[in-house]
């Protein structure tokens, strides 16, 4: 999944699925530059929803290490831009699901 210091995963992969016992489970993986803009890294997050109304702010963001094939949780204070991009993408997906009347 990586070549040198570049993450070689999907540019963007997003899924919202029905969860066992009700509600929904979402997950996203994306490719973006690191904070120094010198290398591409993978970022991913996932969470649960009781309905399609609103995304919770409490998701854990993970980053793919540039030098090792591992994912590491990031502190909430890091990469607000990536967190906002993920929130925006998931919110758009929820809106699309509501538009096509998914229940």
The pLDDT score that the predictor gives to residue 102 is 63
Give buried/exposed letters for 86-100 (b at 16+ CB in 10 A, else e).
bbebbeebbeeeeee
Domain tally, the chain? 1
| Entry pTM | 0.81
Encode pLDDT of 48-98 as tens digits: 887 777 676 678 899 997 777 889 999 989 999 999 999 889 888 888 888
Q: Is the pLDDT of residue 16 over 50?
A: yes
Residue 48 belongs to what domain range? 2-99
The pLDDT score that the predictor gives to residue 10 is 84
The pLDDT score that the predictor gives to residue 103 is 59
């Amino acid at each position: 999944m990586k070549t040198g210091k570049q993450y070689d995963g999907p540019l963007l992969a997003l899924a919202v699925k029905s969860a066992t016992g009700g509600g929904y489970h979402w997950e996203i993986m994306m490719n973006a530059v690191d904070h120094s803009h010198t290398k591409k890294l993978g970022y991913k997050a996932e969470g649960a929803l009781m309905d399609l109304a609103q995304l919770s702010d409490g998701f854990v963001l993970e980053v793919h290490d540039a030098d090792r094939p591992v994912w590491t949780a990031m502190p909430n204070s890091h990469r607000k831009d990536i967190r906002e991009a993920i929130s925006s993408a998931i919110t758009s997906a929820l809106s699309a699901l509501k538009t096509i009347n998914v229940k």
